[in-house]
Amino acid sequence: MSSASDPARAREAIARNPLWYHTIDVAPGVPTPGVFDLRPVVERLPWPDVRGKRCLDVGTYDGFLAFELERRGAAEVVATDISDHAEWDHEVRLGGQSTELLEEIAGEKGAGFEIARELLGSSVVKEEINAYDLSPQRLGEFDVVVCGSLLLHLRDPLRALAAIRSVCGGLFMSIEQVDLVLTRLHPRRPLAKIDGTSGRGQWWVANVAGHLRMLEAAGFDVQRSTGVYLEQLGIGHPGRGTSRRGLRDLAERVLGGGEGVPHAAALARR
Ligand SMILES: C[S@@+](CC[C@H](N)C(=O)[O-])C[C@H]1O[C@@H](n2cnc3c(N)ncnc32)[C@H](O)[C@@H]1O
């Protein structure tokens, strides 16, 4: 990455994007107002040594993980995402409504990534490609692949994992939202909660054992994994600081020890 951006220029560029998903330090003292803030947990992730490696971030959104790969010394980073909100695996019962809603609140897909990349002086290359369509013919092979908080949003996460494995020549770091209640009640039994109707765009939320089993079922060998940690809500999150309601939310706050979305990560070998 090149030298840091001027803070005033950074603030003006940030304001051009209506919704930031990631909190990214794009200039000294200037973070983007993200819905989520991965900065407090980034060191807890089971990063492999990426120095000099060819790396891929699948479902990059504003690019936090891709820029982190670059910061850690990757020789080349490719970041992929869908090109349009219409390409999410939308809930059947919502019809076209969720695309319209996302277009309204999140604006143009990929706009935040482009602004952050420019402000950071980053060389990360963006490719618009659906996770299901990843193939060595299109992108070649990567030493390290990372993917965060995507599998739960896919109707067919194992098909996506097969495509991810097809471009992974070495290691895969999978970071996923997990179900805290299922994890605490069944620490060793691989389980997942089925959704697809709540309006949250979530299909499968596994417990920690379920996340690891999905990786194994796709052919990966898990090398190490984290326990559950909370992904922090960023200042752009509409629910930050408000008291959430409902027994499940209460249970998650008590079991998780704070406010945030339960996640777990694993490093696996192809
Ligand atoms: C919940 S965000 C996670 C962002 C980031 N990976 C992280 O861990 O913070 C999910 C991302 O996956 C993307 N996405 C959704 N469906 C996808 C698909 N079928 N293929 C590739 N990316 C997809 C979304 O556009 C969004 O950028």
**What CATH code is carried by the domain that includes residue 37?**
3.40.50.150
Q: Following DSSP, what letter does each residue of 48-82 receive, concatenated?
A: PP-TT-EEEEES-TT-HHHHHHHHTT-SEEEEEE-
- Establish if 2 belongs to a structural domain: no
- The predicted model scores a pTM of 0.94
CB of 148 sitting under 6 A from ligand 1: yes
* Atom 9, ligand 1: residue with shortest CA distance: 148
Which pLDDT does position 19 carry in this prediction?
A: 94
CB of 79 sitting under 6 A from ligand 1: no
Which pLDDT does position 106 carry in this prediction?
A: 84
Question: Which atom of ligand 1 lies nearest, measured to the CA of 61?
Answer: 27
Query: Tokens 């950074």 appear where?
Result: 10
CB of 119 sitting under 6 A from ligand 1: no
Which pLDDT does position 252 carry in this prediction?
A: 60
- Establish if 95 belongs to a structural domain: yes
- Establish if 215 belongs to a structural domain: yes
CA–centroid distance, 148 to ligand 1, in Å, is: 7
Range of the domain at 18: 7-269
- Establish if 65 belongs to a structural domain: yes
C-beta atoms surrounding 224 within 10 Å: 10
Ligand 1 pocket test: pick from 78, 99, 135, 150 the residue with the most ligand atoms within 8 Å of its Cβ.
150
Which pLDDT does position 134 carry in this prediction?
A: 98
* Atom 27, ligand 1: residue with shortest CA distance: 61
* Atom 7, ligand 1: residue with shortest CA distance: 148
CA–centroid distance, 59 to ligand 1, in Å, is: 3
CB of 66 sitting under 6 A from ligand 1: no
d(CA 12, CA 8): 6
CB of 234 sitting under 6 A from ligand 1: no
CA-nearest of 26, 76, 73, 78 to 51 is: 73
- Establish if 142 belongs to a structural domain: yes
The number of folded domains in the chain is 1
Which pLDDT does position 133 carry in this prediction?
A: 98
- Establish if 75 belongs to a structural domain: yes
| pLDDT tens per residue across all 270 residues of the chain | 555 689 999 999 999 999 999 999 999 999 999 999 999 999 999 999 999 999 999 999 999 999 999 999 999 999 999 999 999 999 999 887 888 888 888 888 999 999 999 999 999 999 999 999 999 999 999 999 999 999 999 999 999 999 999 999 999 999 999 999 999 999 999 999 999 999 999 999 999 999 999 999 999 999 999 999 999 999 999 887 665 556 666 666 666 667 899 999 999 999
Beta strand 142-148 pairing with 168-177: parallel
- Establish if 1 belongs to a structural domain: no
CB of 81 sitting under 6 A from ligand 1: yes
Which pLDDT does position 105 carry in this prediction?
A: 81
Which pLDDT does position 193 carry in this prediction?
A: 98
Q: Following DSSP, what letter does each residue of 39-57 receive, concatenated?
A: GGGGGGS-PPP-TT-EEEE
- Establish if 64 belongs to a structural domain: yes
CB of 82 sitting under 6 A from ligand 1: yes
Which pLDDT does position 5 carry in this prediction?
A: 80
